[in-house]
C-alpha cells in the first residue's frame, strides 16, 4: 500500500530513476539544441549537383505522334509496352492546329534539378557511375512523389510507376534490362534509335534554357514538301 514504486535502490551512486532523468535531459537537450544549432548553421542545405554529361534535344514540329519512342522506352526499361511507364511522353490533341497539336515531354537532365533537390531520401540523384544522369534508385524511393510534383516543366518529366510503386525518369537508357546495348551518356538511347522521323537528338553539351527544342528538319524534310522553319 506504499506510494513509493518498488525500485532497486543502490546504496551508493545513482538510482535508476536518476539515471533515466539524466538520460532524458541529456538527449532532449541534444535534440533540441542540435536542431536549433543546425538550423542556424546550415539553413536550407545547399547542394552542389554536378551537371549531366548527356541531354536529349527534341524537335516538336517534326514529331509524327506515333508514340514509338514511348513504346520503346517502356519496353527497354520494363519489358512491356506501357505508355504510362514511358519516361518520354508525347502529348497530342487531334483537333489543335500544328504545331500546338503535339508536345514532346522529355527530361532535360536539368543543371539545377528540382527533382533531385526535392527528394527526401536521395533516391533521385545525379548518378556518378552513369555520367551524372539524374535517375532514381528505386530501392531508396519511398514513394512520396515530391520529385513528380517538383519538375517545373509542363507535364512533369518524372514518371510515377504505378505498377511498382516508385518514381522513375529518363536515364538516357543507362539501365535497360530489356535491351542489350550500351546506354547512358555516350551510348545509344531507345527513343532516338526508333524514332521514324529522327525528331530526337542526343548531345553532350548542356543546352541553355531555350536550347532543348531544336530544329532537326533539313533538306530531306524540305524535299518531302514539309516546312523546315
Partner 1 sequence: MHRRAVSIALFALAAIGGYGAYAASRLASASGGGASYVLLFDKFGWMVLAAPALGILIAGFSKRQDPRIEGDRVLRHDGPAMLEHWTHGLATTLLLVTGIVLGLLFVPRLIEGSEAIGFVMNLHFVGVVFFLFGTFYWASNTVISSYRLSEHLPSKNAIEYTKRHYGLLLGMKKFTMPPEEKYFESERMAFILAVASTVVIIITGFLKVSAHVWDLSGSLMKTVTMTHDVATVAMLAFFLAHVFFAAVLPMSWPVLRSMFTGYLSLDNAEEEHRGWLAAIKGEEASDERAA
Partner 2 sequence: MNGYAGKILNVDLTAHEYSVIDTAKYEKWGGGHAIGSAIFWDLCKDKTIDGRDPRNVITIMTSPLTGTLVPSASGRVEVQGIGLQSYPVAWYTRSNFGGRLGGQLKSAGWDGIVLQGKSPKPVWIDILNDEVVFNDAADLWGTDTWTAQQKIWSKLGVERGVGDAWRQVSTKAKDGRTTQKPAILAIGPVGEAGSSIGALIHDAGNGGGQGGFGGVWGAKNLKAICIQGTGGVDVADPTGLIQARITAKEDWTANDDKGPENFASGFGQTVSPVAFWPMPTDGMRPQACQGCINGCRARYASGVGNESSCLETSVYMGYDIAKNGKPTAATYEGVDLLQSYGANAFEIKHGLGYIRALLEMGVLGKGKAIDSSLDYTQLGDTVFMEALLRAISDKMDIGADLQDGFIRAAEKWGRLDEDWATGALQFPYWGLPEHSYDSRAELEWGYGSIVGDRDINEHDFNRIFWENFLSAAKGYKPALTAEQYTALVVSKMKPLDPDPSMLDFSTENMYSEAIAKLVSWQRHYSRFWKQGALYCDFKYPDFENLNRPDASGLTGSGEPDFWNLVTGQDMTFEEGMELGRKVWNLDNAIWTLQGRTREMVHFAPYVHDTPMTMGEFGPNYVLPAKVDGKWEYANVAGRKIDRDGFEEWKDHFYSIEGWDKTTGWPTRPTLAELGLDDIADTLESAGKLGKEQ
61 makes contact with partner 2 (CB under 8 A): yes
| Stretch in the footprint of partner 2 (CB under 8 A) among 16-24, 116-124, 129-137, 194-202 | 194-202
Q: Which of residues 77-116 bind partner 2 (CB under 8 A)?
A: 78-85, 89-103, 105
CB 107 within 8 A of CB 159: no
30 makes contact with partner 2 (CB under 8 A): no
Give the phi and the psi of residue 88 in degrees, each rounded to 5. Answer: -125, 135
CB 133 within 8 A of CB 172: yes
Quick one: 163 or 204, whose CB is closer to partner 2?
163
Q: Which of residues 122-141 bind partner 1 (CB under 8 A)?
A: 122-123, 137-140
36: alpha, beta or left, given left = phi > 0 and alpha = psi -120 to 50? alpha
Which three three-digit cell numbers place residue 145?
512523389
31 makes contact with partner 1 (CB under 8 A): yes
CB of 136 to partner 2, least distance (A): 16
Q: Strand, helix or coil at 103?
A: strand
Query: Longest Cα pair distance anywhere in the chain, in angstroms?
Result: 102
CB 62 within 8 A of CB 197: yes
C-alpha dist (Å) from residue 38 to 42, 48, 119, 122: 5, 19, 20, 20
| Stretch in the footprint of partner 2 (CB under 8 A) among 11-19, 33-41, 127-135, 178-186 | 178-186
183 makes contact with partner 1 (CB under 8 A): no
CB of 18 to partner 1, least distance (A): 8
**Alpha-carbon Rg for the chain in angstroms:** 26
Quick one: 105 or 132, whose CB is closer to partner 2?
105
Contact set with partner 1 (CB under 8 A): 1-8, 16-25, 27-28, 30-32, 34-35, 114, 118, 120-123, 137-140, 142-146, 148-154, 156, 162, 165
Amino acid at each position: 500500500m506504499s506510494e513509493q514504486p518498488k525500485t532497486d535502490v543502490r546504496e551508493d551512486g545513482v538510482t535508476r530513476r536518476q539515471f533515466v532523468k539524466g538520460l532524458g535531459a541529456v538527449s532532449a537537450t541534444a535534440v533540441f539544441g542540435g536542431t536549433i544549432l543546425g538550423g542556424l548553421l546550415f539553413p536550407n542545405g545547399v547542394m552542389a549537383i554536378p551537371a549531366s554529361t548527356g541531354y536529349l534535344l527534341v524537335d516538336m514540329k517534326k514529331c509524327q505522334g506515333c508514340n514509338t519512342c514511348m513504346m520503346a522506352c517502356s519496353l527497354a526499361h520494363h519489358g512491356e509496352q506501357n505508355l504510362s511507364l514511358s519516361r518520354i511522353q508525347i502529348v497530342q490533341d487531334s483537333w489543335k492546329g500544328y504545331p500546338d497539336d503535339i508536345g514532346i515531354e522529355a527530361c532535360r537532365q536539368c543543371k539545377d534539378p528540382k527533382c533531385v533537390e526535392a527528394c527526401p531520401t536521395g533516391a533521385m540523384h545525379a548518378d556518378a557511375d552513369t555520367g551524372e544522369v539524374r535517375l532514381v534508385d528505386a530501392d531508396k524511393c519511398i514513394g512520396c512523389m515530391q520529385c513528380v510534383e517538383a519538375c517545373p516543366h509542363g507535364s512533369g518529366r518524372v514518371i510515377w510507376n504505378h505498377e511498382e510503386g516508385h518514381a522513375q525518369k529518363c536515364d538516357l537508357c543507362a539501365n535497360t534490362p530489356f535491351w542489350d546495348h550500351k546506354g547512358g551518356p555516350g551510348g545509344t538511347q531507345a527513343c532516338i534509335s526508333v524514332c521514324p522521323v529522327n525528331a530526337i537528338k542526343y548531345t553532350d553539351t548542356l543546352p541553355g534554357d531555350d536550347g532543348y527544342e531544336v530544329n532537326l528538319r533539313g533538306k530531306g524534310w524540305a524535299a518531302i514538301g514539309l516546312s523546315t522553319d
